[in-house]
Amino acid sequence: DTFLTSYVLFDKKSNVAEMDTINQVQKLLNQKIKSGELMVPNGVSFAFTGNYENLIRSEKTLKIVLPLALFLIFMVLYLQFKSVSLTSLVFSGILLAWSGGFLMIWLYGQSWFLYIPFFGDFFRTIFQIHPINLSVAVWVGFLALFGIASDNGVILGSFLKDSFEKHQPKTIEEIRESAIEAGMRRVRPCLMTTATTVLALLPVLTSTGRGADIMVPMAIPSFGGMFVAVITLLMVPVVYAWIEERKL
């Protein structure tokens, strides 16, 4: 803003997030100014820039992009199934995957996680296990996860819908038999979808060098989310059968 500028550079501890560091520094400076220990002359001001500024800008963008992505996914599913209940059921797989992503981030911060010897090394070293702070890269990883987390639900939901329209069960017993049959027939395709996604992420999780500090946090939510999303194999047929039973 046409003022003379001076830069004060500082680093942070490795186990502290950048946002937390800046918030602590701001709080400390405000306390010093309020108590009179730090005198800020007239015409002088200070502001934080660098990575922190980029994080603030990205955070504002993500507040728009995340809800918009979820809404669009829900609408695409609704156009496919033409049913709010079935769409919500398939969409619930995204919530399961969301929890799985956060669970994996929590596990990466635990000292005992993957502390298993492997040919003279440890899995912790191979997968570079260390605390992961929420960052733009992590949220981008969650965005990618939302797109693939509903795959199993779509495979099961489509087959269940077609199976019930074909057989048109009239009793609770017939409904449950149709749900079990559909679930059994779709187990292999769903597991293949999950397995290929998880296996494809292994080279990313074990990567080192330039770019790894961005790619690894992006891959962690998808890796953990797809493991937990397998629960949809059990949940979708059961809840679908419950909905059909209530219609009787």
Q: Could you read off the pLDDT of 131-147 as tens digits, one per residue? A: 888 888 898 899 888 88
pLDDT-derived band of residue 148, with 50, 70 and 90 as boundaries? confident
pLDDT-derived band of residue 72, with 50, 70 and 90 as boundaries? very high
The SS3 assignment for 148 reads: helix
Upper half-sphere CA count for residue 182 (Cβ side, 13 Å) = 31
Q: Could you read off the pLDDT of 168-190 as tens digits, one per residue? A: 888 999 999 988 888 888 888 88
**Section 154-171 average pLDDT:** 87
Instruction: Say if residue 173 is exposed, middle or buried (CB neighbours under 10 Å; 0-12, 13-18, 19+).
Output: exposed
| Residue 83 · residue 210 · CB < 8 Å | no
Cα separation, 164 vs 247, in Å, equals: 13
**CA 188, 192, 195, 197: dihedral to nearest 10 degrees?**
-150
Tokens describing residue 115 = 């502390």
End-to-end CA distance of the chain: 70
For residue 17, give the amino acid letter: A
The reply to whether the predicted model has a pTM over 0.85 is no
Question: What does the angle CA 194 – CA 141 – CA 66 come to, to the nearest 5 degrees?
Answer: 110
Does residue 207 have a pLDDT over 90?
no
Cα separation, 157 vs 129, in Å, equals: 36
Q: Could you read off the pLDDT of 216-231 as tens digits, one per residue? A: 999 999 999 998 888 8
Average pLDDT, the chain: 88
- Which residues partner with 118 through β-bridges? 121
Q: What pLDDT does residue 59 have?
A: 83
For residue 41, give the amino acid letter: P
